[in-house]
Amino acid sequence: MKKFSVFAALVSLVIASHSEALASEDIIVKREAAERFVVLPKGVRFPEGITANPKTEEIYVATFDFGPNTNKLLRFKKNGQLVAQRDFGGTPLLGLQFNPWDNKVYICNFGASKIQRIDANFKDMTEIEDVASIPSIGPPLPRTVDNPDGTMDTITFGNGFPAPNALIFDRYGNLFVSDSFQGAIFRINNAGTCATPCPVDLVKHDGLLATAGFPPFGANGLALSKDGTKLFIANTGDDRILRLDLTTKDISIWAESIDGADGIAFHHGWLVVAANQGDQLAILNDSGRVIAKLGDFLGIRGDGSPRGLLFPASLVIMDDKIFVTNLALPLTMTEGDEPEEDVTRYTVSQIDIPKHLP
């Protein structure tokens, strides 16, 4: 009887192990999924924002540089050829969004706390238009966090700098803007036609949209549900995806533990997330569960560019291909402990979305 019990236990262990193996197959993992799309011109650093014109398939990339180099908005053909670059001087740029209603690219000018725009077919000297200034509203109220022992911690936020980070248009031409430091979501109604400077409405100001984590950016990437009633928001420092009901203004945590959740976009009902600290893209199903992990950091090439993904920040999807910026920005204060410090040429990667997702 004892031998049978041992045998039964072994059989149970094998079955359990087999079940775990089957369960692990539900997640698609492709570490080498990221291919190099373009290398930025010499001296142009830290690509962050990205968008695309679906008609021309041109790709637009913005840089987030605080150093002596000037920031650029770059325009590439679908084959990777650089068409134009517009100088933005010393003000770092973040999110971009193409607007099909006026054929312009909208820009989060982080350094100036403004939303700007430029003709999609811009040249080196095309005029940059100011759309709106993000208002200073201060940090959100403190946030309480429950502990397992029944106690609570209180997080008090202090950063009140208006920090526009990401953009998305709804079907009516209204532009939503995330503010990473003030912990807020703003909306510019009829952004393509409103009289500039356009009024900026506050949609939500909440502690869930701020962070005391790392990297120190709260509300970041934005994506709208298919019916336009829910706004999904990446909180980078908290490794979360939030969901904001635009009707009730209720906000909730939709997904956790996405390592540095940054740029996001929906594709056929799946949410694609750039995990900037995980050096990968995560694809989530409609329950917020990860079903695919694409890309990884695979070292530095001989030309000084990253192989694979390194601090993937923003993404745009055209057809079944994802284009993602490799920000490769060193963030820690300890010299020599980050591969980003070894990068001398900066890239945008492309990834094919798996045809059969769980």
Distance CA 109, CA 128 (A): 11
* Nearest one of 354, 352, 353, 349 to 80, comparing CA atoms: 349
Q: Is residue 92 within 8 Å of residue 110, measured between CB atoms?
A: yes
Burial of 39 (0-12, 13-18, 19+ CB in 10 A): middle
- How high is the pLDDT of residue 194? 97
Query: Would you call 208 helix, strand, or coil by DSSP?
Result: helix
Residue 261, in any domain of the structure: yes
> Is residue 157 domain-resident?
yes
The letter for the amino acid at 84 is A
Q: Say what the alpha-carbon torsion angle 116, 311, 52, 32 is, to the nearest 10 degrees.
A: 180
The whole-angstrom separation of Cα 224 and Cα 171 is 10
Matching residue, tokens 């393509």 = 192
Q: Is residue 1 part of a domain?
A: no
Given this model, what pLDDT does residue 30 score?
Answer: 97
Whether 303 maps to a domain, the answer reads yes
Beta-bridge partners for 51: 60
Give how many domains the chain has, as a whole number. 1
User: According to the model, what pLDDT value does residue 337 have?
Assistant: 85
Q: pTM of the full predicted structure?
A: 0.91
Asked if residue 13 belongs to a domain, the reply is: no
- Give Dmax over CA atoms of the chain in angstroms: 86
Separation between Cα atoms, residue 289 and residue 283, nearest integer Å: 8
Half-sphere exposure in the Cβ direction for 34 (13 Å, CA): 30
Domain around 252: 38-352
Amino acid 25: pLDDT: 57
| 18 lies in some domain | no
Q: What gap in Å lies between CA 358 and CA 268, rounded to an integer? A: 13
234 located within any domain: yes
pLDDT for the residue 169: 98
Separation CA 185–CA 42 (nearest Å)? 35
Instruction: Report pLDDT for 336.
Output: 77
CA-nearest of 83, 309, 126, 99 to 192 is 99
Rounded Cα distance between 221 and 256, Å, is 15
CA distances from residue 356 to 266, 291, 352 in whole angstroms, order as listed: 16, 11, 12
Is 282 domain-assigned?
yes
Low-confidence ranges of the chain (pLDDT < 70): 1-25
Domain with residue 315: its CATH number is: 2.120.10.30
pLDDT, tens digit, 9 for 90 and up, residues 275-306: 999 999 999 999 999 999 999 999 999 999 99
